[in-house]
Structure 1
Amino acid sequence: MDPYDSDSSVDDDLTDTGVLLGYAAEEVIEDTISHLGGWPKWLDDNAPAPGDFANCKVCNSPMLLLLELHGDLPDHFPTDERRLYIFGCPRKPCNRKPGSIRAYRATRKISLGSGKPQEQEEPKQEEPPKPAQPKQDLGASLFGSTNLTSTVSSNPNPFSTSSAPTTGTNPFATPVPAGAPAEKITSTAALASTFAEKVRISSPPPSAPTKATPESATATPWPAQSAFPPPYKNFYLDAEYETLSRPSTPEVPANVQIEPMDEDGTAAGAELKDTFESELDRDFMKFSMRLEHNPEQVLRYEFRGSPLLYSTGDAVGARLLGKNISGGKITTLPAGSIPACEYCGSQRVFELQLVPHAITMLEEGRPGVGLGKDDAGMEWGTIIMGVCGRDCAPAELGVTGWREEWAGVQWEETK
């Protein structure tokens, strides 16, 4: 059995999964919403997060932004505008303590028929059958554009798992308007579109006029920037679906001698091998091997999917442990394994997780100005975000609601 699970095979050597991977990029792109580090950008500037959401639950001091993600899901919540945030406390005394990393969701209801009322269908004369349109899926539903199918000639749906895009092309490039003069592409950065355009089916309709949020009207206001430590460096996000290299069967070189078997049937040297393996965390090895297929990933996204566990022996791993695990990835997420939404009682579902390369990017060149010896550096292995499966929010149009969601932190293992 392959040491990973897959949704479909692309060819004999590569496998695409249903997981969208995020990659950090310094280049400024059109959509600056989805990013690592930097300062948060609010879904509604008139209704920022409640002030107490800014603070670490351990030291009650302002935290730093780790991730902001444009989270619209028209396929699942067509009347919701969504934004996801993860904050973390950089102070050494708070490391590894519950509440030092917090996750939030902002949701605003919009009118599905804004600006264009639905029209009743009228009988039409029969027309010649048209070619079947590509099926829209979650891969097109998060960060999107209005027309992704024109960007890949070899695969009408760049997010389908039935075939692979043509080598050397970028299936997520921004479509060129009809009749526009062709421009010479000078770099791969010129082909990149927004991270938001990689997972949405269509852009949401114009939102209704915003109102003051009842929840935030009486809450403590969000602190001024001067109250926060220096932020992490801002990185924008690009995205591609996860592709795994199918492992080949190793061949034994001609000059290698096979160890003789002992009388009890074990190979000589097996004891040494067991000793070596006992020093390694098998869960961590599975986790690392999965990430090595795409080592520069900072984010894994699969709404209603399953997380990749850093460990199965800690509290978070035990909570999320499924009956089936392949390559460290849960293939069956047990019902109720993520705490239910405290606001509406609905079951939470997995949406995303940050992985260790995000630490490398965020802490690159960071001197800890203003924190001194208290800046311990991040020590988590992965941060798993579970969100309300109903996307609960105020029912009034244009009202932004804030919800604290579940942040399951698996800390880096220490000896």
Structure 2
Amino acid sequence: MAPPRDDDGWSDSDEDELGEVETSVLLGVPDGPIDAESDVNDVAVSRIGGHPAFLASSEPPISSSQCKVCSNPMELLVQMWCPFENSPMDRALYMWGCSRAGCQGKESTVRVWRGLRFNERYAAQLEKKRERQRQREQERTEALAEEERKKAAAKVNPFSVGSTAASNPFGLGAQVFGDISPSPASKSPAFGGPKGEDEDEDEDEDGSDSEGSLITAMAGTTISESVWKNAPSYPALYLSTLSEYIPAKPKTALPPGVQILDPTDDGKDGKDTPSVSEPYENSLEIDEVFDKFSKRVEIESEQCVRYELKGTPLPFSSEDAAFKKIFPDPEQRTVTVTKAAFTVAQPQKRVYDSSAIPACPSCGSPRVFECQLMPNLINVLSSSNAGLEKNLTDEERRKVVERALKKGDQDARGSMEWGTCFVFSCEKDCCLDENKKDARVSWREEYVLMQWDA
């Protein structure tokens, strides 16, 4: 991010000096085919396509990937390694989608599951970190209390009977005023300082090394002898993450007090904080929502996933029920017009509201927005699948073409037609068994809200 500038003027060269602004969104982009078998079986390797790698030693049922419309197994679209910060649980999201022609435009053709597993070693590290934090807070509290005691002692009247402000030059103070010893120096170590910093760095480095070794040693269940091996799949690609940057607005020569409002501005100021509101004006002339979506995607056209836990979704269109579900109609304000004063009602804006999203059925906590699938994912999967078709024999290719041209073939696999898919997950990331008791592993389906490419 470019440093702030002090000049107030504007020139043609100013636009070149403006930098980009980092948002709190992480972008998932394809990063080449996965060839190593160890990466295929490693749950910590995020991927596009391929077969899933699971956290638990016992695999979930294959029915988890079944389309709720045609009941056939679906292809894995994305698997993401995404543990919550300061959580002892290993965590991954699994997203399946149906590409059959007859299922497009219908709900439940994209399903998302959350896999959790308790990580004992990382839980021990977290407890040590919490203990160090508690100790630092206690030392800080004691140091502040000691400082307040010293300030209070300095305000005591030096001529009062109980004063110890100055030593008696005649050596009689202890005899006259009683034997009062000066208070000992504070035993609390100075917080901060070179020694404390070095110790913290050593501990953090040890934790980082241990955490890194844990990630590389995650138990990814091999599916070589599994029913999942025979499930339909796309070629596996690495999914890498990038930070999202948006261009800074150029300066414009405007009179004082005049401001230009950009409908594509989402209000993010580069800080790593989620947006809690996202306004959209009601307009019947143009779809400002789709316009904003297109402009944001153009900045990084390779993005297949947008990840922003507890953030704000980027809607694809304002012309469907999904948009109105999370950006509900604003309350209409009535304006009283009198002879004395005439007022103009400002157009009401839609604000993001996730209260209509169903709560977690396991623990009852609210679900929050976590990520969304982008249209380029369809292009990437289609392109990778087309690469496999190049290896087909002439007879196999002829049958594929005939099936694609056959009208009314609802089972024919083609391109998915959604515009974007929003994923909402349990805010508490609960890990409970069927009896609502704490568990060490969990497999729970999360909520998907789809916007279709009309």
Normalising by structure 1, report the TM-score: 0.61
- 8 A Cα contact 1:70 1:82, kept in partner: yes
Q: Does the alignment pair 1:338 with 2:357?
A: yes
Indicate how the Cα distance of structure 1 residues 249 and 71 shifts in structure 2: closer, same or farther if over 3 A, else same.
same
- 8 A Cα contact 2:78 2:94, kept in partner: yes
- 8 A Cα contact 2:422 2:448, kept in partner: yes
Partner of residue 172, structure 1? none
Task: Please give the residue correspondences for 1:164-313 in structure 2 after superposition, counting only pairs within 5 Å.
Answer: 223-226=227-230, 228-229=231-232, 231-248=233-250, 281-313=287-319
Q: Does the alignment pair 1:82 with 2:91?
A: yes
Q: Of the candidates 413, 417, 428, which is equivalent to residue 375 of structure 1?
A: 413
Partner of residue 50, structure 2? 38
- 8 A Cα contact 2:47 2:78, kept in partner: yes
Q: Does the alignment pair 1:385 with 2:423?
A: yes
Shift, 1:246, TM fit: 2.3
What code does the residue aligned with 1:48 have? E
Q: Secondary structure at the residue paired with 1:366?
A: helix
Distance 1:323 1:249 in 2: 34
- 8 A Cα contact 2:76 2:96, kept in partner: yes
The 10-residue stretch of structure 1 (96-105 or 315-324) with the greater mean CA deviation from structure 2 = 315-324
Distance 1:401 1:239 in 2: 26
Distance 1:331 1:132 in 2: 50
Distance 2:53 2:327 in 1: 35
Distance 1:308 1:115 in 2: 36
Distance 1:204 1:400 in 2: 21
- 8 A Cα contact 1:55 1:62, kept in partner: yes
Distance 1:131 1:250 in 2: 51
Distance 2:329 2:117 in 1: 36
Q: Secondary structure at the residue paired with 2:369?
A: strand
Structure 2: any 5+ residue segments left out of the alignment? 5-17, 140-186, 198-203, 220-224, 254-282, 331-348, 390-395, 405-411
Partner of residue 265, structure 2? none
Higher helix residue share? 2
What code does the residue aligned with 1:385 have? V
Post-superposition Cα deviations, 1:244-286, rounded to whole Å, max 9, x if no partner, equal 01244799xxxxxxxxxxxxxxxxxxxxxxxxx9896432221
Shift, 1:376, TM fit: 2.1
Shift, 1:233, TM fit: 2.1
Q: Does the alignment pair 1:103 with 2:112?
A: yes
Shift, 1:313, TM fit: 2.3
Q: Secondary structure at the residue paired with 1:392?
A: coil
What code does the residue aligned with 1:301 have? Y
Distance 2:113 2:69 in 1: 17
Partner of residue 262, structure 1? none
- 8 A Cα contact 1:349 1:387, kept in partner: yes
Over the matched positions of the two proteins, sequence identity in percent amounts to 29
Q: Does the alignment pair 1:61 with 2:72?
A: yes
Indicate how the Cα distance of structure 1 residues 354 and 10 shifts in structure 2: closer, same or farther if over 3 A, else same.
farther
Indicate how the Cα distance of structure 1 residues 315 and 130 shifts in structure 2: closer, same or farther if over 3 A, else same.
farther
- 8 A Cα contact 1:113 1:205, kept in partner: no
Shift, 1:51, TM fit: 2.7
RMSD: 4.2
What code does the residue aligned with 1:68 have? Q
